[in-house]
Structure 1
Amino acid sequence: MKHPSTAPKHGLAAGDAGRPERADWTIDQGWERYTQEEHAVWRFLFERQSRLVPGRACREFEEGMRDLPIGADQIPDFRRLSDVLSRRTGWQVVAVPGLVPDDVFFEHLANRRFPAGQFIRRADQLDYLEEPDVFHDVFGHVPMLMNPILADFVQAYGEGGLRAQRMGVLPNLARVYWYTVEFGLVQQTEGLRIYGSGIISSYAESLFALADPSPNRVRFELERVMRTRYRIDDFQETYFVLHDLEELLELARVDFAPVYERVRQQSELEPGILLPGDDIMTRGTGVYHAARAEGN
């Protein structure tokens, strides 16, 4: 499943070799230099995921996808995406070589620039990738940035990230981003739906997050989320569910300083644990992760 010895590293993960010349880590997308093989990888991923997400993705994702210049034929041109996105919510997509330093990431978000990995995974990495590539970043994130609520929330997160760095509480805030923008679920009239990009760009996790009996599904509560560690190497053990996306606007208005202080005085929580005060929608069996642990 993983290819740690052969997969090339990009951006921050590549060390000095991945650092671009510009201080903001942006690069030219170089759209004209994508090969037919790279466009074919995009096509496979796009078509597979586009067949899967109807009835699983939230309405806002489907609306954003419909209105963007994005399709199966080729990797999208960031310039064309930005033209549409900027008119709708004031955002633009900027190319970066891969992962970027936290302060650079937050600075971009705070100024409504979404840093998207310029590279695309290889044909032997279709189901797992350690680093976010152009498919994850564009297919997963950009349609949601067409929605004013997500657009405002992600900008506020960037501003909050810069403050959290200065206060030394970044891990707590990072969990909010992880359990919302990356791996969030939302309750809509039609049922439970995906809005997190880490799920929506993953074939296997799109199925697991909504339908598998193994994970917990718990109503989102800010301090609970800020205490909860997450999985970076596998499916999540717990998914946090919003009543609606408007909850994110409430988060954007929160004074986080006293929240950090309260969280600092409490213990951290393992990803799969449930608390007596949780509003539990699904009490997971934990079978999937238990089996993975036994296998290791």
Structure 2
Amino acid sequence: MDTHQPYIIPDITIRKNDGLAHAADYTMPQPLDRYTADDHAVWCLLYERQMALLPGRVCDEFLVGLAQIELACDRVPIFEELNVRLRAATGWQIVAVHGLIPDDVFFEHLANRRFPVTWWLRERHQIDYLQEPDIFHDLFGHVPLLMNPVFADYLQAYGRGGMKAKALGALPMLARLYWYTVEFGLLKTAEGLRIYGAGIVSSKSESIHSLESTSPNRVGFDLERIMRTRYRIDTFQQTYFVIDSFEQLFTATAPDFTTIYQSLLSQPVLGAGALTEGDCILQRGDQQGWVVTGDV
């Protein structure tokens, strides 16, 4: 998804897609012949590393979805094989794209239960961090939860809401909701906090930081509060928002947002690390390592 900042196509995206065309909706056939032996080895390394790290940290719903969709661990997965299981479970499907795509196209795909997945994989020297999404982030991070009916419905509703938000000039507000839930959300369980956001699930370092570091704030989910809060794309998050359940998330985002957008336009936007009087603060971060500029 677009971050609403001027976007320069990274060199790796250009190189990986050299000679490949895409359709008007930015989809393309998954170019299976482009994957090298090293691509498969890097996928295997990333998969095994996260699977060693995530038990006890990630939510049960993610692990259930991962088992159900049967991601290959020894090679880059084939989308059509996954789509057979995904369609049967929740009616979603994966579509291959070259990388980041325009907001309106992204929302249209989600609204029609299509999840865009960047087809190419990061290179070995980028194993720990890549700013733009690759197949490991998109596929390993996002797709297992699409096997969960409640989360699958939430993401479709988000897509429909995105189309309306664009027309109302409210995309930054909705982008914040996506960022703090789908990408970097935490879930409160009887066993403690668990990860469900794809940006955390697919990252070794943020999987640890989001749950164990004393640096960030951890705050109870509040829809309008989130829509006012800027975020970070270049460092660990300064604030993580915590839901009680996926049902809470779906219920909170079910109503029409038009009046919410109108109300929020008159309220100040908050910094990524800000806390407010009305927050349900689960942890007040000690701000170690924070960068004070660069919020999106």
Band the TM-score falls in, shorter-chain normalisation: over 0.9
Counterparts of 1:24-43 in structure 2, within 5 Å, are: 24-43=25-44
Does the aligned pair in 2 maintain the 1:149–1:248 contact within 8 Å? Answer: no
Q: Which residue of 2 aligns with 1:277?
A: 278
Does the aligned pair in 1 maintain the 2:217–2:285 contact within 8 Å? Answer: yes
Q: Which residue of 1 aligns with 2:178?
A: 177
Counterparts of 1:65-214 in structure 2, within 5 Å, are: 65-214=66-215
Distance 1:182 1:205 in 2: 11
Distance 2:18 2:163 in 1: 26
Counterparts of 1:55-66 in structure 2, within 5 Å, are: 55-66=56-67
Unpaired runs of 5+ residues, structure 1, are none
Offset, 1:218? 0.1
Q: Which residue of 2 aligns with 1:8?
A: 11
Go from structure 1 to structure 2 and tell me whether the alpha carbon gap of 1:157 and 1:53 turns closer, same or farther (over 3 Å shift): same
Does the aligned pair in 2 maintain the 1:229–1:268 contact within 8 Å? Answer: yes
Offset, 1:57? 0.4
Q: Which moved more, 1:69-78 or 1:247-256?
A: 247-256
Distance 2:103 2:34 in 1: 28
Q: Which residue of 1 aligns with 2:290?
A: 289
Q: What secondary structure is seen at the aligned counterpart in 2 of 1:49?
A: helix
Q: What secondary structure is seen at the aligned counterpart in 1 of 2:116?
A: strand
Does the aligned pair in 2 maintain the 1:60–1:147 contact within 8 Å? Answer: yes
Say how many residue pairs are matched. Answer: 285
What letter matches 1:196 in structure 2? Answer: G
Go from structure 1 to structure 2 and tell me whether the alpha carbon gap of 1:17 and 1:258 turns closer, same or farther (over 3 Å shift): farther
What letter matches 2:180 in structure 1? Answer: Y
Distance 1:260 1:280 in 2: 24
What letter matches 2:146 in structure 1? Answer: L
Offset, 1:259? 0.5
What letter matches 2:256 in structure 1? Answer: D
Unpaired runs of 5+ residues, structure 2, are 1-7
Distance 1:63 1:205 in 2: 21
Offset, 1:275? 0.6
Does the aligned pair in 2 maintain the 1:62–1:143 contact within 8 Å? Answer: yes
Distance 1:278 1:251 in 2: 16
Confirm or deny that 1:218 pairs with 2:210: no
Offset, 1:9? 4.0
- What is the RMSD computed on CA atoms of the aligned residues? 2.0
Does the aligned pair in 1 maintain the 2:22–2:97 contact within 8 Å? Answer: no
Distance 2:19 2:111 in 1: 23
Confirm or deny that 1:239 pairs with 2:236: no
Offset, 1:251? 2.7
Distance 2:100 2:121 in 1: 13
Q: What secondary structure is seen at the aligned counterpart in 2 of 1:210?
A: helix
Query: Would you identify which runs of 4 or more consecutive aligned residues in structure 1 move more than 6 Å?
Result: 16-19
Q: TM-score, normalization: structure 1?
A: 0.92
Does the aligned pair in 2 maintain the 1:18–1:97 contact within 8 Å? Answer: no
Distance 2:72 2:286 in 1: 38
Distance 1:17 1:176 in 2: 34
| Identity %, equivalent residues | 52
Offset, 1:31? 2.0
Deviation digits for residues 137-167 of structure 1, max 9, x if unmatched?
0100000100011100000000000000000
What letter matches 1:95 in structure 2? Answer: A
Does the aligned pair in 2 maintain the 1:176–1:222 contact within 8 Å? Answer: yes
Distance 1:267 1:101 in 2: 27
Offset, 1:190? 1.4
What letter matches 1:59 in structure 2? Answer: D
Does the aligned pair in 2 maintain the 1:69–1:76 contact within 8 Å? Answer: no
Deviation digits for residues 152-202 of structure 1, max 9, x if unmatched?
000000000000000001000110000000000010121100000000000
Distance 2:34 2:267 in 1: 51
Offset, 1:252? 3.4
What letter matches 2:11 in structure 1? Answer: P
Distance 2:169 2:13 in 1: 27
Go from structure 1 to structure 2 and tell me whether the alpha carbon gap of 1:242 and 1:18 turns closer, same or farther (over 3 Å shift): farther
Distance 2:110 2:280 in 1: 31
What letter matches 2:217 in structure 1? Answer: N
Q: TM-score, normalization: structure 2?
A: 0.92
Distance 2:266 2:249 in 1: 25
Distance 2:266 2:20 in 1: 38
